[in-house]
Amino acid sequence: MEILRLDPTVSAGAFKPMNAVNNGPVHKRHANDQYRDNLAAYRAANIPFARNHDASFCSDYGGQYSVDISAVFPDFDADVEDPASYDFACTDEYIAVTLEAGTETFYRLGQKIEHEIKKHHIHPPKDYRKWAQICEHIIRHYNEGWADGFRYGIRYWEIWNEADLDARPDRPNKRTWSGTPEEYFALYEVTAKHLKACFPQLRIGGPALATREEWAEAFLTYLEENRVPLDFFSWHIYCTTPEKMIQKNNRIQAMLDRHGFGSAENILNEWNYIRDWQENFVYSIEQITGLKGASFTLACMAEAQKSSMDMLMYYDARPCTFNGLFDFYTLKPLKGYYPFLWYGMLYGRREIRAVEAPEHIYSLCGADEQGKTLTLLTHYDEDDGAAAKTVRLDLGRKTTCEVWILDETHDGTYLKDTDDLTFTLPPHTCLLIKEK
């Protein structure tokens, strides 16, 4: 038997938004057929932010008529000051439904990834200044009421997505940015300086880094030398262990510190379980929708909360291959939904950290105003043949707890009330243990 020991007398502070996601719920307020809905379940998970990247893949959100600059401002030669040049309708509805779930939009300014053989909208804008002005008017629409708009107070505005993905000059069939790194750096500079001049209170950042850390070094060097604002640095990782995520986070944080951006928010805004993108891709997406994917999610949330990260945004909550929260067709909750639901219960509690923990046991614990604890734990191991672990939860006192379980046969189900906090955990089992 191994011990997971917590010290409820020592607080590590507040819980950060580690159950944020990409994309919102599905809730068609205007539809009278082909109706499906996950608004209530989405709202119950207390999801703080939804990044709207790749929303235009989803017909429920308006498809090609939503979010992307090319959708909102379809004719680049049109008058940037004329409300008639903009098509906000589908994006308005999408953001309204997301807000109805109690979730704030994290707005990605730019374009979705293009996997098709012919590319349409991933090219550098022909006028960077005008592109920045288009972004300005989108912000004014959603935050200042411009063009029959709203006063939502959306705080985070991200400039493009994964411009580094196919950055090598010899890389064919580029998917996110057809220009050079230097062209993206210039676009970011023009846009960030313009938006910060217009909206100094908003959080402007990027670059939604895919993989290339040498590209990130060059980007940060450019910003440093040209005095370009960076309120947050966003980056992505798809991996198989929380440790790999934390290792990359530590490299990113060190990079930010070196270049004078240590105060910028560190936001991981795309992540999920992927063993690789080729031979094991089918295996990977099978895990995303099952128990292993759920356990991986909870383990990553636990380690991210303890790290220098400021926000963790899962990819993806929209109906798609990478959605481990909701069934693609019915939108009913999958096993991966429960880590989000359970993490949402920790908000408003003070974090308690483990002072002793077994290998492969990942935990989160929060105490309410009365000192009563809520503990989440999982046995995550990339090795599918790993043995079960017997673990005793030590809260430093004798107490009775409600226990809820997520495993192969239970979907976040109440298990028992008990004062015996010893549990045998097969790989990927998840528990919620709430002190009575």
pTM (predicted TM-score)? 0.95
Q: How many residues appear in the chain? A: 436
Task: Please tell me what DSSP assigns to residue 160.
Answer: -
**pLDDT confidence bin for 32, thresholds 50/70/90:** low
Assess contact for 147 and 86: CB atoms under 8 A.
yes
On the question of pLDDT at 171 being above 80, the answer is: no
Give yes or no for a contact between 320 and 402, defined as CB atoms under 8 angstroms apart: no
CATH of 16-349, one of 3.20.20.80, 1.10.8.50, 3.40.50.2300, 3.90.1150.10: 3.20.20.80
**Least confidently predicted of 115-129, 190-204, 354-368, 402-416:** 115-129
Q: Are 139 and 145 in contact (CB under 8 A)?
A: no
Q: Residue 256 carries which side chain, given as an amino acid letter?
A: L
pLDDT the model gives residue 433:
98
**pLDDT for res 337:** 98
Model confidence at 296, in pLDDT bands (50, 70, 90)?
very high
d(CA 261, CA 208): 16
Quick one: pLDDT band at residue 356, thresholds 50, 70, 90? Answer: very high
Tokens 């408003």 label which residue?
348
Which residue in 276, 195, 213 sits closest to 250, CA to CA? Answer: 213
Q: Do 166 and 116 form a contact (C-beta atoms < 8 A)?
A: no
- What pLDDT sits at residue 224? 98
Give yes or no for a contact between 21 and 316, defined as CB atoms under 8 angstroms apart.
yes
The neighbour count for residue 352, using CB atoms within 10 Å, is: 24
Confidence of residue 10 (pLDDT cuts 50, 70, 90): confident
In angstroms, what CA-CA distances link 394 with 10, 242, 429?
14, 24, 19
Domain map (residue ranges) of the chain: 16-349, 351-435
417 three-state secondary structure: strand
How do residues 85-112 score in pLDDT, each as one tens digit?
Answer: 999 999 999 999 999 999 999 999 999 9
- Averaged over 119-135, what is the pLDDT? 94
Which tens digits make up the pLDDT trace of 244-281? 999 999 999 999 999 999 999 999 999 999 999 999 99
Q: Topology of 351-435 in CATH?
A: Immunoglobulin-like (2.60.40)
pLDDT at 174: 86
